[in-house]
Amino acid sequence: MAKKTPAPKKPTADSSKQLIEAVATVIQLQGFIKEHGALEKALAAAVRVHGLIEMTGGFDQLKQALEIVGKETVVPQQ
């Protein structure tokens, strides 16, 4: 018996959402790379941030620590 060829799947809302998220992520990544001057520098920055996330116990904890440090190191304007 010959196998039936499966009918092409229609795009689902999930696949459309994933595509939109992927495009948005790539755009953000391109901006990040431009900000850091080169792919290698951007990757090095990402690795450092990942290390900080691990050291602080998670992204939320790192964000909280950065907010605290930011408040303490603000120089009052005269």
> Is 54 within a domain?
yes
pLDDT (average), residues 8-18: 75
Q: Is residue 9 part of a domain?
A: no
Residue 61 within any structural domain of the chain = yes
CB atoms under 10 Å from CB of 62, counted, come to 16
Please report whether residue 11 resides in a domain: no
Residue range 20-74, pLDDT digits in tens: 999 998 999 899 889 888 889 888 988 999 999 999 999 899 999 889 888 876 5
Within a domain: 66: yes
Q: Which residues have C-beta within 8 Å of that of residue 46, sequence separation ≥ 6? A: 32
Residue 6 within any structural domain of the chain: no
* Phi-psi region at 9: left, alpha or beta (left = phi > 0; alpha = psi -120 to 50): beta
Domain that holds residue 36: 31-72
Number of domains comprising the chain: 1
In a domain, 58, yes or no: yes
Cβ(67)–Cβ(56) under 8 Å?
A: no
In this prediction the pTM is 0.52
Nearest to 64 by CA among 47, 52, 46: 52
Arithmetic mean of pLDDT over the chain? 83
